[in-house]
Chains A and B, each alone.
Chain A
Amino acid sequence: MKASAFDYARATSVAHALELLTAHGERAKVLAGGQSLLPAMNLRLMAPEFIVDIGELAELRGVTVKGDVLTIGALTRHADLLKSPEIAAHAPLLRDAVAHVAHPAIRNRGTIGGSLAQADPASELPACMLALDATIIARGPRGERRIAADEFFAGIYETALAPQELLIAVELPVQPKDSTHYFHEFARRHGDYAIVGLAAQALVRDGRFADLRLGFFAVGDRPLLARSAGELIDVAVTPAVLAEASSALDEELSPLEDQQATPAMRRHLAKVLLMRCVSSLLSRPDLCTGVSA
């Protein structure tokens, strides 16, 4: 299990990285934390000829708050997100989610930019980007682009990024103080990619949802911002309403089959998550009764 031979350069600036990417085109790959790229190379599932290591670009690492925008540099590590007071204050959903990403050794190296660029449909952070209404900032030879999260993820391991583009940062609106969130995933072992997961951000006023963004993951080829959430906004949620939303959610899902679960099981689990999420966000244990498909 040795990677095939490749050339390697350590970028000294974003401009340098972009130059290298332009020069080597499709043959090149960006290396960030290496926690997805290197296993794929060692298994020879991937054999890039040129590695552009962006690991030393300190300018891409860190979390800042300006006004009501939270900016996370692409090289910010999972472990940084977990510890960041800014994240805890303004996007606690992300902190809760990151605790489910892999294990400490991997979180010490893996980066948010790498996770988003990897676009694994079972990955936590992409779904959080949908729930948090993030904007992804990319820079390429022709300058910078701002891409809405729900336009960024294009399929299994596919994104809107061009091969010569670098993911620079993500921007999140600072969540209102009274905003609440819910995160849960079903994984066989803690730290595994989810069988099905849900990252939700909500505004609850007077026992009703004033806003509800449901970012499901591992329910299709990309994370899903569930439109069915709309059925729960500004209404008194009853078991009947929830059941309606649940069947509407079912329509939106196109789950894949793998060794962990059949599509039917994923649909079932997504609906369990919806029910538990709504019940938890509205503090309504009465909504949490048995689910059947």
Chain B
Amino acid sequence: MTSTSANPETLSALDRPNSYIGKTVPRPNLDRLMQGRGLYVSDIELPRMVHVVFVRSPHAHAKIIGIDASAAKQMPGVIAIVSGGELAAVITPWVGVLSHLKGMKSAPQNAIAIDRVCWQGEAVAAVVANSRAQGEDAAELVSVDYQELDAVTDMRTALDPTTAVIHASLGDNLAFERNHDAGTVDQALAESDEVIEAEFIFGRHTGVTLEPRAVVADWNAAEARLTIYQGSQAPHMVQNIAALHLGLKESQVRVVCKDVGGSFGIKVHIYADEMAAYALSKLLRRPVKFVADRVESFNTDIHARDHRCKGKIGVKRDGTITAFEIDDLTGIGPYSMYPRTSAIEANQVVNLVGGPYVTRNYRARARVVFQNKNVMCQYRAVGHPIACSVTEGLVDLAAMKIGMDPIEIRRRNLIADDAYPCASPSGLRFEQLSHHAALAKLVRMMDYDALRAEQSALRARNIHRGIGIASFIEVTNPSAAFYGVGGAKISSQDGVAVRLDAQGSVICQTSITEQGQGSESLTAQIVGSVLGVSMDRVRVILGDTDNTPYGGGTWASRGAGIGGEAALQATKVLRKNILDVAAAILQSTAGELDIVNNVVVTVVDGAPRIELSELARIVYFRPDTLPPGIQPELMATRHFVPREYPFAFTNGVQASWLDVDIDTGFVKLLKHWVVEDCGTIINPQLVDEQIRGGVVQGLGAALFEKCVYDERGQLTNANMADYLVPMSGEMPDIDVGHVVSPTLESELGAKGAGEAGTAGAAAAVTNAVNDALKPFGAIITEIPLTPQIILTALGRI
């Protein structure tokens, strides 16, 4: 890995002796996890705890005529069987809309279906029992009488007048539509030498977290308080919503997120079955546990990416891209998810298409329709893979048409590195991106010319390899523009409190959360560096609404950039407070002192003056010895939210090198490269592994993952044998490089890195496959790129 700094100025608070910033240090939580001492929700056992199993609809759309639970109630270990109507006594329904998504509509959703089920897998009744196994036995005996209704499954016909309307009160199946028109698209297309059109099809897929969604809800009637243990990315959001719909004050709800076994955006939403678990605890006045099993996960964890997007690009013979135009259609299931809505992905597609390029001419339409399939919502890199695949697919098609090399057409059209600040055709503001530096670095890393030579040599031997390039932009560090302005109580700011304990160690409470990406580590690195203490002295507490400042959590690539900056600012205050006390004790001035390696030293010569442990001893136990009028504050809290830019955009470029077996349609990934620019890099290993993990998820979408529904709305591959996740054996080596353009909105300068890998991987692979198939005149714009699709495109079957 190599880094070049586009902004060589050093940043004071970070550039201190023994700084951990920019260093690969082991994650402090590794030992706990590796020794099996993690605490996941499934590990939690409380006295009098019971388990809930949901009876789920086998139909995509049906009326509930009746539920007979009499036999099930007689089964051993059964505590209660609760229907949607009964549960409605303790929990109110919700509607997943946001006011800034103009015209968006959705229908009220209940924790458990009442009267009608709208997708296969929606919960119809809750069976509460002493164990999960007993609950499953009883659930088999709950007999539900359904009357099947017409299921809306094909998004292409969802808006036809002849198609049934899922929610009569909404009038039609349109959840949201956005139109955007910038510049002079028609004129630009008319003046182009070539106009190329294609329809891009994206398979519906899902996140497949290793640990399924899990909740323990514990209503303590004596305290009138609900404690929710849940693997969530946004504890304060869960607190707000649980309170709102259970008729409680937020102060009556505590949300605790211990270890979380993978999330990827799956666990940042409010799910009906989780709401049901909270409500059941309140109803039964005892702890209730819900752990989704794998089949439930496939049927109820949000899906994503089910888009069909028509695209058009205009190009001049000299490679100038004149305009982009898209028409995107997506089906989101029967309800918009709560509270972030299911319109964000389509909205992002409109925002991001064409984003890396200079052209101002851009027209877009996106329509979001309801259907009787599982709900869709935001999953890692929301909208990015679609926007990137459409944009980069069109750019490659244009290059092919005019006979230009894919690198060259990008060089001629990417926004110049010195053109910032500027805005995209969809109105997104860019502070500082580095497309050209990134592309140049990528070309070097992959030795592009040598690879092209190899490709043509192998073609002569009937071996067909392809190179695919994909430039991208990524939304990170979102401000309130994402959700807050639309009325959602999802905080865009984060807070951090740091304090020095009585032995000179540091306790740091942060509102960002950890799902394995290293939030704990990066927080400790920042605190240790800024304060001048070793990381082993820093303990980070996160994921507990009772014990952390208020904040958004970890999602949308915001943890490091926003939570990290709050940590930096809080620690700076603590450092100043410590130095003030030290100056009083040492009869010096704060300016003459520094903290290095857990010791207060003199700045000029580094001479040790007083150990932090000794300072803390004096402050806490012998304050009587301090000069009069000194009141030490060895705890500091700061919050941060970006204000100037709604999002801190990052950028990057990916490349794929692969082999297509033209007899079998099988694709073998040989190598993948990423160069990205996330600003200041706090921990290179964490960043690189975020990129690699993200790429692997993108490669899964490109080649393997798809939720296969039949025409009746049945998910036919809801298991790990038939739903193909990417596995290590098929993954190529992924080389990661960086360009560093820190954001000036924060002292830390960090932007997000969590989604960049996912954003461009599928686009790079699709472009590479089309590059490999060039001699055969076959072009594929559908993912996953299965052997079946490739053989069909080649006319072999």
What is A's interface to B at a CB cutoff of 8 Å? 1-5, 43-44, 186, 188-193, 195, 259-262, 264-265, 268-269, 272, 290-293
A259 near B796 with CB under 8 A, answer: no
Contact A186 B787 (CB under 8 A): yes
Is B482 on the interface with A (CB-CB < 8 A)?
no
Residue of B nearest to A4 (CB): B137
Q: How near does chain A come to B293, taking the closest CB pair, in angstroms?
A: 4
CA distance A161 to B642 in the complex (A): 70
**How many Å lie between the Cα of A145 and that of B400 in the bound state?**
66
Contacting pair B730 A189 (CB below 8 A): yes
Question: What's the nearest-Cβ distance from chain A to residue B667, in Å?
Answer: 10
* Pair count A-B, CB < 8 A: 69
Chain B: CB-nearest residue to A47 = B140
CB pair B797 A259 closer than 8 Å: no
Q: Does B712 contact A (CB under 8 A)?
A: no
Chain B: CB-nearest residue to A291? B663
Q: Are A190 and B797 interface neighbours, CB within 8 A?
A: no
- Decide if A268 touches B791 in the complex (CB within 8 Å): yes
Contact A190 B293 (CB under 8 A): no
Across chains A and B, which 3 residue pairs bring their CB atoms closest together, nearest first? A1-B293, A2-B133, A190-B729
Name the residue among B664, B666, B717 with the largest chain A CB count within 10 angstroms. B664
Partner of A259, one of B664, B722, B730: B722
Residues of B within 8 A of A293 (CB): 796-797
Contact A259 B716 (CB under 8 A): yes
A265→B790 CA distance, assembly (Å): 11
B791 touches A265 (CB 8 A): yes
Chain B window 786-797, contacts with chain A (Cβ cutoff 8 Å), 1 for yes, 0 for no: 111001000011
List, in ascending order, chain A residues with CB within 8 A of B462's CB.
290
How distant is B659 from chain A, measured CB to nearest CB, in Å?
Answer: 15
Q: Are B664 and A269 in contact (CB under 8 A)?
A: yes
Q: Which residues of the other chain, A, contact B662 by a CB distance below 8 angstroms? A: 290
B708 touches A259 (CB 8 A): yes
In the assembled complex, the CB of B729 is this many whole angstroms from the nearest CB of chain A, namely 4
User: Is the Cβ of B724 less than 8 Å from the Cβ of A268?
Assistant: no
User: Residue B663 contacts which of A2, A191, A260, A290 (CB distance < 8 angstroms)?
Assistant: A290
B132 interfacial contact with A, CB 8 Å? yes
Cross-chain contact B719 with A2 (CB below 8 angstroms): no
A258 to chain B: closest residue by CB: B722
Question: Within B706-724, which residues are at the interface with A (CB < 8 Å)?
Answer: 708, 716-717, 719, 721-722, 724
Q: Is the CB of A260 within 8 A of B666?
A: no
Give 17 A-B pairs besides A259-B716, A260-B788 with Cβ atoms closer than 8 angstroms.
A1-B136, A2-B132, A2-B136, A4-B136, A186-B787, A188-B704, A188-B786, A189-B729, A191-B729, A261-B788, A265-B787, A268-B791, A268-B797, A269-B664, A272-B664, A290-B462, A290-B663
Q: Least Cβ distance of B235 to chain A in Å?
A: 28
| Shortest distance from the beta carbon of A230 to any chain B beta carbon, whole Å | 25
Expressed in whole angstroms, the minimum distance between the Cβ of A124 and any Cβ of chain B is 16
Whether B65 is near chain A, meaning CB under 8 Å from some CB there, is no
Q: 8 A-B contacts, Cβ less than 8 Å apart?
A: A3-B133, A44-B140, A186-B664, A189-B724, A260-B788, A264-B797, A290-B662, A293-B796
B residues bordering A, Cβ < 8 Å? 132-133, 136-137, 140, 293-295, 462, 662-666, 704, 708, 716-717, 719, 721-722, 724, 726-727, 729-730, 786-788, 791, 796-797
Considering the complex, give the chain A residue whose CB is closest to the CB of B727.
Answer: A189
**Chain B residue nearest in CB terms to A195:** B787
Whether the Cβ atoms of B666 and A186 lie closer than 8 Å is yes
Say yes or no: A292-B796 contact (C-beta < 8 A), given A2-B132, A190-B727.
Answer: yes
What residues of chain A lie closer than 8 Å to B295, measured between beta carbons? 1, 43
Bound together, the chains give a CA A219 to CA B448 distance in angstroms of 42
Query: What residues of chain A lie closer than 8 Å to B133, measured between beta carbons?
Result: 2-3, 5
Minimal beta-carbon separation of B180 from chain A (angstroms) = 37
Please, which residues of chain B bring their CB within 8 A of the CB of A5? Answer: 133, 137
Q: How far is B716's CA from A4's CA once the two chains are assembled, in angstroms?
A: 23
Residues of B within 8 A of A264 (CB): 797
Please give the distance in Å from A40's CB to the nearest CB on chain B: 11
Interchain nearest-CB distance for B630 vs A (Å): 62
Across the interface, which residues of B come within 8 angstroms of A259, CB to CB? 708, 716-717, 722
Q: Which residue of B lies closest to A39 (CB)?
A: B721
Q: CB-CB < 8 A to A291: which residues of B?
A: 663, 796
Complex: how many Å from CA A195 to CA B730?
Answer: 16
Contact present for B797 and A262 (CB under 8 Å): yes
Given contacts A269-B664, A292-B796, contact A189 B704 (CB under 8 A): yes
Question: Given the complex, which residues of B lie within 8 Å of A191, measured CB to CB?
Answer: 727, 729
CA distance A290 to B137 in the complex (A): 55
Contacts of A2 in B (CB 8 A): 132-133, 136
When distances are taken between beta carbons in the complex, the residues of chain A under 8 Å from B704 are 188-189
**CB neighbours of A260 from chain B (8 A):** 786, 788
What's the Cα separation between A261 and B786 when bound, in Å? Answer: 9
Cα A191 to Cα B720 with chains together (Å): 13
Alpha-carbon distance between A287 and B788 when the two chains are bound, in angstroms: 24
Given contacts A43-B719, A190-B730, contact A262 B796 (CB under 8 A): no
Cβ distance B711 to chain A, nearest Cβ, rounded Å = 14
CB-defined contacts of B730 to chain A, threshold 8 Å? 189-190
Q: List, in ascending order, chain B residues with CB within 8 A of A290's CB.
A: 462, 662-663
Known: A260-B788, A292-B796. A272 touches B727 (CB 8 A): no
Residues of A within 8 A of B788 (CB): 260-262, 265
Contact partners of B796 in chain A: CB under 8 A: 268, 291-293
Give A260 to B717 CA distance when docked, in angstroms.
11
Cα–Cα, bound, A214→B771 (Å): 36
Q: Give the docked Cα–Cα distance between A237 and B387 (Å).
A: 52
Q: How far is the CA of A193 from the CA of B294 in the complex (A)?
A: 20
Nearest residue, chain A, Cβ from B293: A1
Determine the chain B residues whose CB is within 8 A of the CB of A195 once the complex forms.
Answer: 787
Smallest beta-carbon distance A109→chain B, Å: 17
Complex Cα distance, B525 from A272, in Å, reads 56
| Chain A positions within 8 Å of B787 at CB level | 186, 188, 195, 261, 265
C-alpha gap A101/B459 in the complex (Å): 33
Query: How far is the CB of B727 from the nearest CB of chain A, in Å?
Result: 5
Hey, which chain B residues are within 8 Å of A3, CB to CB?
Answer: 133
- Which single residue of chain A is at the shortest CB-CB distance from B136? A2
Chain A residues whose C-beta falls within 8 Å of the C-beta of B132 in the assembled complex: 2
A262 to B293, CA, bound (A): 30
* B561 shortest CB reach to chain A, Å: 35
Q: B726: which A residues are within 8 A, CB to CB?
A: 189
- Smallest beta-carbon distance B661→chain A, Å: 9
Considering the complex, give the chain A residue whose CB is closest to the CB of B794: A292
Q: Closest CB of chain B to A141's CB: distance in Å?
A: 33
In the assembled complex, the Cα of A43 lies from the Cα of B722 at a distance in Å of 14
Pairwise interchain contact B137-A272, C-beta atoms closer than 8 A: no
Cα–Cα, bound, A290→B699 (Å): 28
A272 touches B663 (CB 8 A): yes
User: B664 — which chain A residues lie within 8 A by C-beta?
Assistant: 186, 269, 272
Closest to A276 in B: B663
Give bound CA distance, A44 to B136, whole Å: 10
A292 to B795, CA, bound (A): 9
How far, in whole Å, are A290 and B463 apart by their CA atoms in the complex?
Answer: 12
| Interchain CA distance A264-B665 in the complex, whole Å | 13
C-alpha gap A266/B244 in the complex (Å): 55
User: How far, in angstroms, from A247 to B338 measured CA to CA in the complex?
Assistant: 57
Whole-angstrom CA separation of A192 from B704 in the bound complex = 12
Inside 8 A of B721's CB, which chain A residues have their CB?
192-193
CB contacts (< 8 Å) of A189 on chain B: these are: 704, 724, 726-727, 729-730
B132 CB → nearest A CB, Å = 6
Asked whether B727 lies within 8 Å of A265 as measured between CB atoms, the reply is no
Please measure, in the bound complex, the distance between the C-alpha atom of A7 and the C-alpha atom of B101, giving whole angstroms: 57
What residues of A have a CB within 8 angstroms of the CB of B708 in the complex?
259
Which residue of chain B lies nearest to A267 when distances are taken between CB atoms in the complex?
Answer: B797
- Whole-angstrom distance from the CB of A142 to the nearest CB of chain B? 37
Q: How far is the CA of A291 from the CA of B462 in the complex (A)?
A: 13
CB-nearest residue of chain A to B292: A1
Are A265 and B797 touching (Cβ within 8 A)? yes
Question: What is the CB-to-nearest-CB distance from A256 to chain B, in angstroms, rounded to a whole number?
Answer: 14
> Which residues of chain B are near A261, meaning CB under 8 Å?
787-788
Residues in B with CB closer than 8 Å to A292 are 796
